[in-house]
């Protein structure tokens, strides 16, 4: 494991493959403040200094890839995008080279996660040897999550919903926690969620 004082290479894995059943159309293509949700998440990851940034696509992948044009991101495809979230996480991790020390996993529909929040995880990883750094919203732990390479094997062996939830639980006593406002936890799953996100950003 790199020493805490060394500069880490931290990748970003943006999960954006889902079928958006509750929305009724592909929520990753919806625009908030003039930018599609998938592009917004990918751009924030890049601005935060994550490298490389892998965006995992599935539902309407060609359309989603088109709206990412011009961003320096890598695309991973999850053909089983109606299955558990773990398939998308595995697809993203599989694209990361051996030079990557850690990965920040984020959801394309958590629209209130800022560049600063992502960069803070990287900063914390540079000063701590904790194997994972977890965002905490009151009593809830959720993305974005930073996993060091030492946990990649466990993530790849895990199957289920959420972003490596079982791995987070298994290492919760070793984790470093970053407290966030509960309002940031909001994601966009339904038309009502999207309307609320539009209202809060206007």
The owner of tokens 């003039």 is 34
Do 32 and 197 touch, CB atoms closer than 8 A?
Answer: yes
Cα gap 177→28, rounded to integer Å: 28
User: pTM to 2 decimals?
Assistant: 0.93
Can you give the pLDDT at residue 194? 63
Can you give the pLDDT at residue 202? 46
CATH fourth-level superfamily of 10-201: Spore Coat Polysaccharide Biosynthesis Protein SpsA; Chain A (3.90.550.10)
Can you give the pLDDT at residue 22? 67
Residue 172 preceded by cis peptide, ω within 30: no
Can you give the pLDDT at residue 103? 98
pLDDT tens string, the chain, 202 residues long: the values are 545 445 899 999 999 998 767 676 778 888 888 899 999 999 999 999 999 999 999 999 999 999 999 999 999 999 988 888 999 999 999 999 999 999 999 999 888 999 999 999 999 999 999 999 999 999 999 999 999 999 999 999 999 988 899 999 999 999 999 999 988 887 776 767 768 778 776 4
Cα gap 47→127, rounded to integer Å: 20
Do 61 and 29 touch, CB atoms closer than 8 A?
Answer: no
List alpha helices for the chain, DSSP H. 37-47, 61-67, 85-94, 115-125, 152-157, 165-170, 191-201
Strand partners of residue 137: 140
The domain locations on the chain are 10-201
Q: How far apart are the first and last CA of the chain?
A: 44
């Amino acid at each position: 494991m790199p020493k805490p004082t060394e500069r880490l290479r931290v990748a970003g894995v943006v999960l954006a493959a889902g079928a958006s059943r509750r929305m009724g159309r592909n929520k990753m293509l919806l625009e908030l403040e003039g930018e599609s949700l998938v592009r917004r998440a990918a751009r924030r990851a890049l601005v935060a200094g994550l490298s490389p940034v892998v965006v995992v696509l599935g539902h309407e992948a060609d359309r989603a890839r088109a709206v990412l044009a011009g961003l320096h991101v890598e695309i991973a495809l999850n053909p089983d995008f109606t299955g558990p979230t773990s398939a998308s996480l595995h697809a993203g991790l599989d694209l990361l080279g051996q030079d990557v020390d850690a990965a920040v996993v984020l959801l394309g529909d958590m629209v209130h996660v800022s560049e600063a929040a992502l960069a803070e995880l990287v900063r914390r990883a540079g000063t701590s040897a904790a194997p994972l750094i977890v965002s905490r919203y009151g009593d809830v732990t959720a993305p974005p999550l930073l996993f060091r390479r030492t946990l990649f094997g466990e993530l790849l062996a895990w199957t289920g919903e959420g972003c490596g939830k079982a791995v987070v639980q298994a290492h919760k006593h070793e984790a470093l926690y970053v407290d966030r406002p509960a309002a940031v936890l909001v994601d966009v799953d339904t038309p009502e969620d999207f309307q609320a996100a539009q209202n809060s950003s206007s």
